[in-house]
Amino acid sequence: MDTQPKASHFIHGAYVEDNNGAPIDVIYPATGAVIGRVYSATPEIIEQAIVSAKSAQSCLLYTSDAADE
């Protein structure tokens, strides 16, 4: 079984990898073994996530559930 995540981040429906962030070990809690590695978000990744979130938020304004509130 491959335990390595596809990428460190998931933004706007896609996996995004950026190896410039600080490495973070993924640890299996039952054994303490390192089973993968991801990277912390850099300012560029954070900006991508913010832009995506704002885009999604503006789309929610036009859904029928949001209009009923």
Task: Classify burial at 9, counting beta carbons within 10 Å of its beta carbon; exposed 0-12, middle 13-18, buried 19 or more.
Answer: buried
| Per-residue pLDDT tens over the stretch 3-42 | 777 888 999 999 998 899 999 999 999 999 999 999 999 9
Cβ-proximal residues to 61 (8 Å cutoff; 6+ apart), any chain: none
| Per-residue pLDDT tens over the stretch 34-69 | 999 999 999 999 999 999 999 888 777 766 664 455
With tokens 């900006």, the residue in question is: 47
